[in-house]
């Protein structure tokens, strides 16, 4: 409150925006509930460090505003632990719920066997860990978004389950009939589940598979920059039963199950990494499509495997049961597949047959007899060393309306025009510790595959993940990457003699000696260079390593 004196001794009190905003710390669940009940927009309520074993449901009904959210957080992130039968209901708008550790507890039947439920708009759940949770009488959801939720952000969370008593969908977004958009964002989260059995254990599901619904099931949700590591999703890691969703810049590493557009239309899958580095997995790293007007572009697939009991591929165009939008398995129509890199999709043997792209997966002549149609396959780089297997495969008969433009497919293209049956000459590079490949401007743009230190709560990143990575990491460090102007290479350990820099077309840019050096600053080299992707080669006596550099 500010005080200003005017003429004639009159004093006016002006209340500033911050005068009524309170910050307080409480040390019990009952005190936390009481503080929430009395909260005003802009208030910050902190829960003191401790292991809270209460059997309770926290009910948040007091709303903030878009400019002054109510923040409910752990005083010290990660140190306020919920280990009882506990749940949180966010029946309010503009709430930020942050920094808590749900660890070793049970889902509450009083909260619908869900840990957190949200039914209003503009809420944020961030820096939360949910681990070692035991379900009650039914499979549970970690975060459940009711029909009233909108513009929800789920950010930097850690979802991990183990064993059949720990099953459940991690993020479930209900999309009501005639929805005009939910606009949920799930970003920078970590998902892991080691034992998916039965239906309903996918990491993320948006919408319902119920038949007979109307045409306007618009979710408009975005899933980006998340890491799905060894996620056993039964048959699906992500299940989209709604329209206009975007799945982008995620890493799916050794995850069992497909990323599916199960129902409805206009879903986009772009700039993702689908990586299978475990040869023992029966299935890993594939996309499945039903419905119309989907776009699959600029993804990278490394040794994908279709499901063990059927013919399939990295990208599966699945046979439908009809062509009406309100049926469960709608015919694939008007789909575009472009600028993807698919590497070694057909290495398995036996009864299962893997390809890169397959049309008519699950076809049978009685029920699933609507084959995909009107599919554009453009600008893809597909390589496989198996000279006996088609890279693009049609099940049953030749579909109608398939067009091929500017693809490079090797070795066996079969149905693809002969002129596109050429070797894409993929370049092996290391990106954030993973062995991957580039192919000109194809594949993911302005992103690299994710490690656990890139996602999850900030309080976990420093304490646990800085010394541990999922895959073997090269000691060489490139930082930052992507970069704007400054970039350096460190941990060379005097093992390399020179570095060579080219653009994505192989055109020479620079050659420098690094013999005897541990670190080099490349910023001067890029002083007058445009934004784009560059290839850095570290050349030693016995080996050469290649890295992709991204200038923003």
Q: Give yes or no for residue 13 having a pLDDT over 50.
A: no
Confidence of residue 192 (pLDDT cuts 50, 70, 90): very high
Each domain of the chain, given as residue ranges in start order, spans: 22-155, 477-552
pLDDT score, position 18:
46
What CATH number was assigned to the domain covering residues 477-552? Answer: 2.60.40.3080
| Contact (CB, 8 A) for 283 and 257 | yes
Least confident of 129-143, 247-261, 309-323: 129-143
Q: Which two tokens stand for residue 457?
A: 């709560």
Q: Which two tokens stand for residue 489?
A: 């290479």
- 457-473 in b/e burial notation, b at 16+ Cβ within 10 A? bebbbeeebeeeebeee
pLDDT score, position 476:
72
Confidence of residue 108 (pLDDT cuts 50, 70, 90): confident
Q: Give yes or no for residue 15 having a pLDDT over 50.
A: no
**What pLDDT digit, counting tens, does each position of 423-437 carry?**
999 999 989 889 999
pLDDT score, position 357:
94
Q: How far is 354 from 352, CA to CA, in rounded Å?
A: 7
pLDDT score, position 478:
79
How many beta carbons lie within 10 A of that of residue 131, not counting itself? 17
Give 489 or 359, the one with higher predicted confidence.
359
Q: Three-state SS for 206? A: strand
- Provide the mean pLDDT of the chain: 86
* Mean pLDDT of the 238-253 span: 95
Q: Is 506 exposed, middle or buried (0-12, 13-18, 19+ CB in 10 A)?
A: exposed
**What pLDDT digit, counting tens, does each position of 462-489 carry?**
444 444 444 443 457 777 888 888 888 8
Q: Which two tokens stand for residue 533?
A: 């992707």
Strand 341-343 to 381-383 pairing: parallel
Q: Give yes or no for residue 327 having a pLDDT over 90.
A: no
**What pLDDT digit, counting tens, does each position of 502-513 carry?**
887 788 888 888
Give 156 or 512, the one with higher predicted confidence.
156
* Mean pLDDT of the 335-345 span: 96
Q: Give yes or no for residue 543 having a pLDDT over 80.
A: no
Give 352 or 408, the one with higher predicted confidence.
408
pLDDT score, position 50:
95
pLDDT score, position 215:
60
pLDDT score, position 468:
45
pLDDT score, position 352:
63
**What pLDDT digit, counting tens, does each position of 200-210 carry?**
688 999 987 66
Rounded to the nearest 5 degrees, what angle is found at the Cα of 174, between the Cα atoms of 172 and 178?
155
pLDDT score, position 233:
72
Q: Give yes or no for residue 1 having a pLDDT over 60.
A: no
Q: How far is 428 from 255, CA to CA, in rounded Å?
A: 23
**What pLDDT digit, counting tens, does each position of 302-320 carry?**
999 887 567 888 999 999 9
Confidence of residue 542 (pLDDT cuts 50, 70, 90): low
| Contact (CB, 8 A) for 503 and 534 | yes
pLDDT score, position 17:
44
| Contact (CB, 8 A) for 257 and 282 | no
pLDDT score, position 387:
80
Rounded to the nearest 5 degrees, what angle is found at the Cα of 68, between the Cα atoms of 65 and 73?
105
DSSP state of 69: P
Give the whole-number percent of the chain exceeding pLDDT 90.
51
pLDDT score, position 472:
41
How many beta carbons lie within 10 A of that of residue 444, not counting itself? 28
* Mean pLDDT of the 154-168 span: 79
Closest CA to 222 of 200, 233, 238, 199: 238
* Mean pLDDT of the 223-244 span: 91
482 cis-preceded (ω within 30 degrees of 0): yes
* Mean pLDDT of the 67-73 span: 98
Q: Between the CA atoms of 174, 127, 89 and 18, what dihedral angle is there, to the nearest 10 degrees?
A: -120
Q: Give the DSSP per-residue string, 20-49.
A: T--EEEE-SHHHHHHHHHT--TT-EEEEPS
Closest CA to 363 of 415, 278, 299, 290: 290
* Mean pLDDT of the 520-544 span: 83
Torsions phi, psi for 119 (to 5 deg)? -140, 20
Least confident of 107-121, 233-247, 533-547: 533-547
Rg (CA), the chain: 26
* Mean pLDDT of the 341-353 span: 73
| Contact (CB, 8 A) for 348 and 322 | no
Q: Is 515 exposed, middle or buried (0-12, 13-18, 19+ CB in 10 A)?
A: exposed
pLDDT score, position 471:
44
How many beta carbons lie within 10 A of that of residue 51, not counting itself? 13
Sequence-distant (6+) residues with CB within 8 A of 476 are 430, 489, 490, 491, 492, 538, 545, 547
């Amino acid at each position: 409150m500010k005080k200003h004196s005017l003429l004639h001794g009159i004093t006016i009190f002006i209340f500033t925006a911050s005068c009524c905003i309170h910050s307080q710390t409480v040390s019990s669940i009952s005190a936390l509930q009481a503080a929430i009940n009395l909260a005003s927009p802009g208030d910050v309520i902190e829960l003191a460090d401790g292991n809270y074993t209460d059997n309770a449901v926290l009910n948040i009904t007091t709303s903030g505003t878009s400019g002054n959210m109510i923040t409910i957080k752990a005083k010290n992130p990660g140190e306020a632990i919920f280990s009882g039968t506990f749940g949180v209901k966010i029946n309010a708008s503009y709430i930020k719920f942050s920094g808590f550790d749900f660890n070793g507890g049970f889902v509450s039947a009083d909260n619908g066997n869900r840990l957190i439920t949200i039914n209003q708009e503009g809420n944020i759940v961030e820096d939360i860990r949910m681990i070692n949770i035991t379900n009650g009488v039914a499979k549970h959801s970690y975060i459940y978004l009711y029909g009233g939720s909108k513009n929800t952000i789920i950010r930097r969370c850690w979802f991990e389950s183990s064993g059949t008593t720990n099953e459940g969908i991690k993020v479930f977004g209900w999309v009501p009939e005639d929805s005009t958009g939910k606009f949920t964002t799930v970003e920078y989260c970590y998902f892991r589940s080691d034992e998916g059995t039965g239906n309903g254990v996918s990491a993320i599901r948006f919408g319902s598979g119920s038949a007979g619904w109307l045409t306007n099931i618009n979710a408009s949700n975005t899933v980006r920059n998340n890491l799905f590591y060894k996620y056993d999703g039964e048959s699906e890691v992500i299940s989209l039963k709604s329209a206009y969703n975007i799945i982008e810049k995620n890493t799916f590493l050794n995850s069992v199950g497909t990323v599916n557009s199960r129902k409805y239309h206009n879903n986009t899958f772009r700039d993702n990494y689908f990586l299978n580095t475990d040869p023992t997995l029966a299935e890993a790293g594939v996309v499945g499509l039903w419905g119309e007007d989907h776009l699959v572009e600029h993804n990278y697939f490394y040794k994908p495997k279709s499901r063990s009991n059927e013919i399939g591929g990295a990208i599966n165009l699945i046979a439908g049961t009809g062509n009406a939008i309100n049926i469960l398995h709608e015919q694939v129509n008007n789909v575009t597949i472009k600028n993807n890199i698919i590497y070694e999709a057909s290495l398995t043997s036996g009864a299962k047959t893997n390809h890169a792209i397959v049309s008519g997966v699950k076809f049978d002549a009685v029920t699933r007899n609507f084959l995909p149609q009107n599919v554009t396959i453009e600008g893809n780089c597909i390589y496989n060393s198996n000279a006996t297997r088609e890279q693009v495969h049609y099940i049953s008969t030749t579909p109608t309306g398939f067009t091929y433009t500017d693809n490079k497919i090797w070795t066996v293209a079969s149905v693809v025009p002969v002129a596109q049956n050429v070797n894409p000459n993929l370049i092996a590079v290391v990106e954030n510790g993973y062995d991957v490949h580039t192919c000109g401007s194809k594949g993911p743009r302005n992103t690299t595959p994710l490690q656990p230190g890139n996602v999850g709560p900030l309080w976990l990143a420093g304490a646990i993940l800085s010394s541990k990575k999922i895959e073997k990491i090269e000691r060489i460090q490139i930082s930052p990457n992507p970069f704007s102007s400054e970039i350096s290479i460190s941990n060379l350990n005097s093992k390399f003699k020179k570095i060579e820099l080219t653009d994505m077309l192989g055109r020479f840019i620079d050659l420098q000696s690094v013999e005897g050096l541990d670190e080099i600053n490349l910023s001067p080299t890029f002083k007058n260079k445009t934004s784009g992707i560059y290839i850095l080669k570290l050349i030693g006596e016995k080996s050469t390593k290649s890295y992709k550099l991204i200038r923003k």
